[in-house]
Structure 1
Amino acid sequence: MGLIVASGLCLALWVVLWCFHIAARDAAMISFSLFLVAAAVRTVGEQVRQSNSREG
């Protein structure tokens, strides 16, 4: 009986850690995507500013 309880607890702990792992990976992907979007917006903004200063 103790072996069943122990294996059940191990399985529950593994599931919780797996969920945390997926959440951490998703958070890392979201922050990385936001970083890429911010870099792209900054690059486009600089190009627009340069083209406006050239025309002016």
Structure 2
Amino acid sequence: MALRRAVHSDGFEAHARRAGNAVARMDAADYKGWLQRDFERWGKVIRDAGIVAN
């Protein structure tokens, strides 16, 4: 709970924005969905580019 309060504080958000980060307040379910979509999107980019790990 303390971490959630800190991350959702106005001070943290202002600091993150000054550092050039985007701030999106999401609950766990929204974050999970965003993460899954991001993996799918970048996975396709990587596969289409033929990038492989050695």
TM-score, length-scaled by structure 1: 0.42
Q: Which has the higher helix share?
A: 1
